[in-house]
Chain A
């Protein structure tokens, strides 16, 4: 497991470096937008990665509600945290691109607004985790994740009813994207996904370690040993 982790780290580093080269040097400059279009190679892969992570969070939450498996909850919290980071990258890079191209930083278009609401829901999710009792956190958070997932399609449809301004997705329609651009985009997506998996993995291991420490403390106090508050892990308040 440890070797696989190092292997993935090396692979991620290589892919990120290659992706950077592809995005900034190899991909041709867009005719009308110029160099600012290159932000696309970071914006879109971040968005896909964030959506993938939020989806992972939903699946892990459902699994947790079904079988109360600690591992599922650890996966849920790590994917939500990393997902919020990637979603923040999307929301920051978007306006940087939009300002010179659209002339405005932000517009209340369907994709932008849905992404923002998704971000808000997951920030609320993380706050609930932070503020709730340690023993109930996993259940309450899993329930909220399901509510969030039910909400997103409704948000999408309610805003879709207004006209949309975001560039139509280039994938699937075909033809409009230069193959070298597509190559850079896919390489970056691969690199970002590897990076996300790597960070999630570390976070997952940290969460499982926290869990082990909590359990050890509980066992210790059951055995009638000294007070367990002596060495609490980071970020954990005494119960």
Chain B
């Protein structure tokens, strides 16, 4: 357990350091979601009272699309430099590599959300009528739901043709319940009608189920040859 933790931490540190120096993923995600925000605002009146009802969906769709941009880059560097091959023959547990990658993506996407949320509030004139603090667990659970499966499916589509398009094709259908959970929870909290508890529990279940599945099957995918 100790070595698993140490390897996870050092891989995570390496990824964060690389990202800190290049800021490739973060910059492209930020600009991408900014574009989504602006383009959405042309398709309906963003300040109307009814847009509160769809704002939850909007925010999450923007984050989902932006996250795919980063997720696609997850393994590219490792494949280019044959790190994955080295990892395959090394005795290091496969799951610590997976956890490091998933945590790294999680940090990047959370950072993106933290930077983009104020912009959403300003552009769409948002104000939570429900208990706003609950948006934090919804955000954390929802982001993890996207990122854990996204990291896994990015590894799954590594050796496919047209890899970049394969990731959303696999990720979106599987993510449908999670997306519904975050969108509904956010809508309820913003519009202040009812309790978001069912959706938070659903997100939690989704996270537990798929984190377990990813950890159980990642080694199989990494070693698939």
A binding-site residues for B, Cβ under 8 Å: 65, 117, 120-121, 123-124, 127-128, 131-133, 135-136, 139-140, 143-144, 146-148, 150-151, 154-155, 157-159, 161
A131 to chain B: which residues have CB within 8 Å?
Answer: 157, 160-162, 166
- Smallest beta-carbon distance A116→chain B, Å: 9
Q: Which of B166, B174, B206, B220 has the most CB of A within 10 A?
A: B174
Asked whether, in the complex, the Cβ of A120 is within 8 Å of the Cβ of B173, the reply is yes
How many whole Å from A91's CB to the nearest CB in chain B? Answer: 14
Asked if A154 and B205 sit within 8 Å, CB to CB, the answer is: yes
Contact with A along B158-200 (1 / 0, CB 8 A): 0111100010011011101100110000000000000000100
A140-B156, A147-B210, A148-B173 given; name 18 further pairs at CB < 8 Å. A65-B220, A123-B173, A124-B169, A128-B166, A128-B170, A132-B159, A133-B159, A135-B225, A136-B225, A143-B156, A143-B220, A143-B221, A146-B217, A147-B149, A151-B174, A154-B206, A155-B177, A158-B181
**Residues in A neighbouring B174, C-beta threshold 8 A:** 121, 124, 147-148, 151
In the complex, the number of residue pairs spanning A and B with C-beta atoms less than 8 Å apart equals 80
Closest residue of chain B to A142 (Cβ to Cβ) is B220
Partner of B224, one of A127, A140, A154: A140
Chain B residues engaging chain A, CB cutoff 8 angstroms? 149, 156-157, 159-162, 166, 169-170, 172-174, 176-177, 180-181, 198, 202, 205-206, 209-210, 213, 217, 220-221, 224-225
- Name the B residues within 8 Å of A124 (CB-CB): 169-170, 173-174
Q: B55 CB to closest chain A CB, in angstroms?
A: 20
Set of chain A residues within 8 Å of B159, measured between Cβ atoms: 132-133, 136
Chain A: minimal CB distance from B181 (Å) = 6
Complex Cα gap A157–B177 (Å): 9
A140 and B202 in contact (CB under 8 A), knowing A147-B174, A148-B174, A151-B177? no
Given contacts A132-B159, A133-B159, A158-B202, contact A117 B217 (CB under 8 A): no
B176 touches A151 (CB 8 A): yes
Instruction: Please name all residues of chain B whose beta carbon is closer than 8 Å to the beta carbon of A143 when the two chains form the complex.
Output: 156, 217, 220-221
Find the residue from A65, A124, A154, A157 having the highest chain B CB count within 10 A: A154
Residue in contact with B198 in the complex, picked from A121, A128, A139, A161, CB distance below 8 Å: A161
Please tell me if the beta carbons of B156 and A144 are within 8 angstroms of each other in the complex: yes
B130 to chain A, nearest CB (A): 17
A199 to B220, CA, bound (A): 31
CA distance in complex: A133, B213 (Å): 23
Among A132, A135, A151, A154, contact of B202 (Cβ-Cβ < 8 Å): A154
Complex: A124 Cα to B167 Cα, angstroms: 10
Residues of A within 8 A of B213 (CB): 146-147, 150
A65 and B181 alpha carbons, distance in the complex (Å): 31
Look across to chain B and name the residue whose beta carbon is closest to the beta carbon of A143: B217
Instruction: Tell me whether B177 and A158 are in contact (CB under 8 A).
Output: yes
Give chain B residues whose Cβ lies under 8 Å from the Cβ of A161.
198, 202
User: Are B177's CB and A139's CB within 8 A?
Assistant: no
Q: How far is the CA of A155 from the CA of B174 in the complex (A)?
A: 9
Can you report 19 residue pairs joining A to B where beta carbons are below 8 Å apart? A117-B176, A124-B173, A128-B170, A132-B161, A133-B160, A135-B225, A136-B225, A139-B224, A143-B156, A143-B217, A148-B174, A151-B173, A154-B177, A154-B205, A157-B177, A157-B202, A158-B180, A159-B180, A161-B198
